[in-house]
Amino acid sequence: MSTENEGTAVPPAPSAPPVPVETPAASAQTAAPEGGAPTAPIPAVPPSAPGAPEQAPALAEQSAYASAGAGQGADPYGQGTGAPGSAAEAGWPPPPPATPSYADGGGSGADAWGSSYQQPAPKPKNGRGGLVAAILVAALVAGGVGGGIGYSLAKNNDNSTDSTTVSAPSSSGSVKRASGTVANVAAKALPSTVTIEAQSTSGEGGTGTGFVFDTQGHILTNNHVVADAVDGGKLTATFPNGKKYNAEVVGHAQGYDVAVIKLKNAPSDLKPLALGDSDKVAVGDSTIAIGAPFGLSNTVTTGIISAKNRPVASSDGSSSSKASYMSALQTDASINPGNSGGPLLDEQGAVIGINSAIQSTSSGGLGGTSQSGSIGLGFAIPINQAKNVAQQLIKTGKPVYPLIGASVSLEEGTGGAKITEQGASGSDAVTSGGPADKAGLKPGDVITKLDNQVIDSGPTLIGEIWTHQPNDTVKLTYTRDGKTHTVDVTLGQREGDS
């Protein structure tokens, strides 16, 4: 399956700030951007395309990013990049996916609400036209009389003691809602969710979402949401109450599609969203997503967890783009371009994931003639993984990736993650002295399981490895010459995206 990220072609960022949320109990309001906020769909990756960042056969569909203005698809499974069209090193960098894209791509701008009304030309006057007009006048008069009689009867009936109509008592106090209701969760989470506008030095950019990570002003979001502002661009974050802050990128991890930004002159009353435990999430659990789909800031949608450990690969679709991989939480909550980077909450209001990609049914991705919208297939980075990455970025500014030190094929139909005969740029497929080498793995071996997780492709292996930490010991099951073997592998590490 290929996924599109929300941020491929980035439409103009909305000029109007999000509609303020007056009180925590108030419902979330949204503001529509003038030109449509960018959100990137995840482009589909041809299952058999060599080097395609497509996911395992189970995900052989098309997805896109969920953030406005982001890129297109990426491969969810591998660990690194291999020879073009054949393999990916179980380290970095993986090749760009063929079609996946982010969920923060932008929407279209002009005539978003339709064309303007034009007064029809007057018809020539004749006997028939006059008759029609007379009939219309009579009908209007009759309608007016009937309406007046109906209103009078209703009014009299309301005042009658025999009326069966029951009116709800007026209340001057606010409506109180239980802690588990969507309205209550939204009221508490919205004030800590921001709409992010990123602009490059050339003026290109897009819109996405983020949420307060700590009281120091750090905001957690997707890498593809802020990518345009990384090298000297402009970055702003706007809260639902209309307050806008300039921000800077603290660190970004392209492979994980996670980034941390920090507000300049951050307010002292920031309230970080509580982080849940994505490992304990179960299929069928309720979900609540908050974001700025197509620039409509502070939008709240609901759904359930549709699947766990879904291998997803996504990228911005450009030839120079590297793939992002995740073992994602799948949800049917409505997620569209602009939702990227926003929180996926459980029914108690705890963050369980970062909305990142959506399934796309279009063949062209964000760069084509159409843009993906919600079809009930959205993907979020599990918060347990995103939290670890964010903490590393805040600490050092650079991501750390676990790896096994072997190049694996990104093609499907290999029955697992096949170690290639040669690595990237002519290097050895199995790094000498690396984790795989120490465990006895060789070119041609096909890895079929990592611990208890079935591995059906190279991208799936990458996504699963990246849910761990360097120095973790995992159990790899592989086949060689028709025989199955199991070995323990202590993961190595690589720092940075390049």
Q: Which H helix or E strand runs over 141?
A: helix 127-159
Residue located via tokens 């109990």: 25
Query: How far, in Å, are 96, 259, 314, 355 from residue 43 at the CA level?
Result: 12, 22, 8, 16
Which residues have CB under 8 Å from 429's CB, separation 6+? 82, 87, 406, 407, 419, 420, 421, 422, 423, 443
257 counts as catalytic: yes
Which residues have CB under 8 Å from 88's CB, separation 6+? 51, 75, 78, 79, 80, 81, 82, 94, 95, 407, 408, 409, 410, 424, 458, 459, 462
**Tokens linked to 256:** 């994980």
Angstrom distance (rounded) from CA 306 to CA 376: 9
DSSP letter for each residue of 14-63: PSSPPPP--STTSPP-----SS------B-B--TT-TT-----GGG-SEE
- Name the catalytic one among 63, 224, 327, 362: 224
Rg (CA), the chain: 27
CB 435 within 8 A of CB 491: yes
Q: Where are the beta strands (DSSP E) in 363-496?
A: 378-382, 400-403, 407-409, 417-418, 446-450, 453-454, 473-480, 483-490, 492-495
- Name the catalytic one among 340, 362, 372, 457: 340
104 counts as catalytic: no
Q: How many CB atoms lie within 10 A of CB 229?
A: 25
Angstrom distance (rounded) from CA 3 to CA 1: 6
Nearest one of 176, 3, 2, 103 to 333, comparing CA atoms:
103
Which runs of consecutive H residues, i.e. helices, occur in 206-302? 223-226
224 counts as catalytic: yes
Nearest one of 485, 410, 419, 476 to 74, comparing CA atoms:
410
Nearest one of 412, 333, 323, 384 to 93, comparing CA atoms:
323
- Name the catalytic one among 257, 316, 332, 346: 257
Which residues are annotated as catalytic? 224, 257, 340
